[in-house]
């Protein structure tokens, strides 16, 4: 029987500069939003573009790489897994989020930040 795995591979561009949070001397988390875009023709033959936004988190070594080298507009390849988490806000309301946890990160293209 085939083993099913939680695996994600994305290629996209950062929508903003990464944000890093440090915990102690050697632990950190860097997060960023990644846009993936697909184009296709609809039933009328018109070209349609669909952009999806993904919340990506990198831990420790990958977090340090992301913090040091990534900027808004850079194109990256990410492989990792989906993680779900929840938290309560100050009013006691529970929020849920699905994130991509980075296992491997590759910078494909640097795109200059607009001035």
Q: E strands within the chain?
A: 8-14, 19-23, 27-41, 47-59, 75-88, 94-109
Q: Higher confidence at residue 73 or residue 2?
A: 73
Q: What is the CATH number of domain 8-109?
A: 2.40.50.140
CA distances to 38, 64, 115 from 81, rounded to whole Å, are 21, 19, 35
Segment 104-114, tens digit of pLDDT: 999 998 775 55
Res. 3: pLDDT tops 90: no
Higher pLDDT, 1 or 56: 56
Dump pLDDT digits (tens) for 18-74.
999 999 888 999 999 999 999 999 999 999 999 999 999 999 999 999 999 999 999
């Amino acid at each position: 029987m085939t083993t099913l795995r939680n695996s994600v591979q994305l290629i996209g561009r950062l929508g903003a500069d990464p944000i890093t949070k440090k915990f102690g001397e050697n632990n950190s988390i860097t997060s960023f939003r990644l846009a993936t875009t697909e184009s296709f023709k609809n039933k009328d033959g018109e070209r349609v573009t669909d952009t999806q936004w993904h919340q990506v988190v990198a831990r420790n070594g990958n977090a340090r790489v992301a913090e040091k080298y990534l900027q808004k507009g850079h194109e990256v390849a990410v492989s990792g897994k989906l993680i779900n988490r929840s938290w309560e806000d100050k009013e006691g309301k529970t929020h849920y989020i699905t994130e991509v946890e980075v296992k491997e990160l590759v910078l494909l293209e640097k795109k200059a930040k607009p001035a």
